[in-house]
Amino acid sequence: MGRSDPLVLPRQSLPLNPKPFLNGLTGKPVMVKLKWGMEYKGYLVSDRPLANTEEYIDGALSGHLGEVLIRCNNVLYIRGVEEEEEDGEMRE
């Protein structure tokens, strides 16, 4: 994502309305980090369901989960990610 992309925010910014942000990520790959440290990469179906979900623990792929629903009060953050590189590593 380039600087002109409306989803890219500077590190110190004003609060963002989550609805347009999430709508912009719908159908795209995202990484969801939970308060407990687990991370899930999948395609955002709507505001929380993920499809083709993979679980990452300490940055390492630990399993494929398919479709999941994450309760909103467990989410630390959601960020857009690019498609995986051929070697399986995620790019930011």
Q: What percent of the chain has pLDDT over 70?
A: 72
> 46, 47, 45, 67: which is closest to 55 by C-alpha?
67
What is the pTM assigned to this prediction?
Answer: 0.59
> 53, 56, 12, 17: which is closest to 36 by C-alpha?
56
The separation between the first and the last C-alpha atoms of the chain, rounded to the nearest angstrom, is: 9
pLDDT at 29 over 90: yes
- State residue 80 phi and psi, 5-degree precision: -75, 145
Domain boundaries, the chain: 27-80
- Strand-pairing partners, residue 79, are 31
pLDDT tens digits along 48-63:
678 889 999 888 999 9
- pLDDT at residue number 90: 47
Fold classification of 27-80 is SH3 type barrels. (2.30.30)
